[in-house]
Amino acid sequence: MSMFLVPALALAACNGEGEAPEVDDEDLPDAGDEAEEDDVDDGDEEADDGSALQMGTGSTGGTYYALGQEMANVINDHTEQQVNAVATDASVENIARVSDQDLELGMTVHIPAVDALDGEGDFQGEVMDNFGFMGYIYPETNQIVVLADDDIESVEDLEGERVNIGPPGSASHAASELVLDAHGVEDYESYEEGFGDGASMLQDGNVDATFGLLGLPDTGIEELAAQQDVELLTIEDEYLDEIEANSEYERITIEADNYDFMEEDVEGIAAYAVLIGSLDDVDEETAYEIVEGLYENADDVSHAQSEHMTMEDIMLGSEDLPLHPGAEQYFEENDLLD
């Protein structure tokens, strides 16, 4: 069984979602490209004095958006700070916009956050370091969904097929390409949609597979499985070894009891989803208050992935990331630092 399923998870040394992000407003991905306008929190709840903080989540069909809305509600209920959760293309966009002071908070996979500090990966030489770690959220698991009657039995079978790999600038996109590259799959028709749209496309027969870096289990997959017979593709050991050797992802066992349609375990890769905050726009007192209000009341979040937001696991994903000074003060006062 993967170490990601054990609470005392050792720290790893990345919903991710590629063009390189730019900090100029005109070059940043639009915050709601995947979302219907009516579905996106447009900031109407923002306080009249403009003091509400904006927290970047993900596309409306993914885990980040649904979970982020609830996290914002808990912060609003248990602190004096107002937070609005907004739809984005997730990890890389959130990091870029927090660093550019366009968002105050963001949800991200920890791997692109580490890349941002060195200008590596999707950041292609542009260092982005105006953010600090504020807490662990949940383990993100790469899940590859196909229709059961399509005779696609392995990742290699995706050669020449239509594959949704996730939005540009997301950790899902980066993880999908990592898995496909490891299997030598190069000739495929690529679609770059969020998981919700990708699931609809799979259901309608417009793609042959859809990837997502998602919570486990994921409600989007459960909803899709209620409409179609689906399967998850496994990653064989030789490819898992290659991926672990060339990235910060770790193998995870997706156990059969996660979904009713599964008959046996499959293997995948996973990373940490974390909360980050701007070092310029979120002061120490505010960051302290947010961490305290959110994590001491995480039981108020009904989303299934909130079960991972515990004091025992709060530092997961922090390795190699700067701590936000306000969060660090909270961690230190509560004996959470090693």
Side chain identity at residue 330, one-letter code: Y
Domain extent listing, the chain: 53-138+272-334, 140-269
How far the first Cα of the chain sits from its last, in Å, is: 26
Q: What tokens appear for 333 in the block?
A: 């006062």
Average pLDDT for residues 158-170, to the nearest whole number?
93
d(CA 295, CA 91): 21
Q: Which CATH superfamily is domain 140-269 in?
A: Periplasmic binding protein-like II (3.40.190.10)
Q: Could you give the 3-state DSSP secondary structure of residue 22?
A: coil
Q: Could you give the 3-state DSSP secondary structure of residue 132?
A: strand
Q: Which CATH entry fits the domain spanning 53-138+272-334: 3.40.190.10, 3.30.750.24, 3.90.550.10, 3.30.565.10?
A: 3.40.190.10
pLDDT at 177 over 60: yes
pLDDT tens per residue across span 265-313? 999 999 999 999 999 999 999 999 999 999 999 999 999 999 999 999 9
Average pLDDT for residues 23-41, to the nearest whole number?
36
The closest alpha carbon to 23, from 170, 174, 124, belongs to 124
171-182 and 91-99 are packed helices; what angle lies between their axes, rounded to 10 degrees? 130
d(CA 338, CA 331): 10
> Could you tell me the pLDDT band of residue 33, with boundaries at 50, 70 and 90?
very low
pLDDT score at 17: 35
CB 172 within 8 A of CB 89: no
pLDDT at 45 over 70: no
d(CA 313, CA 291): 13
**Is the whole model's pTM more than 0.85, yes or no?**
no
Task: Find the helix or strand (DSSP H, E) in which 118 lies.
Answer: helix 110-118
pLDDT at 38 over 90: no
Average pLDDT for residues 252-265, to the nearest whole number?
96
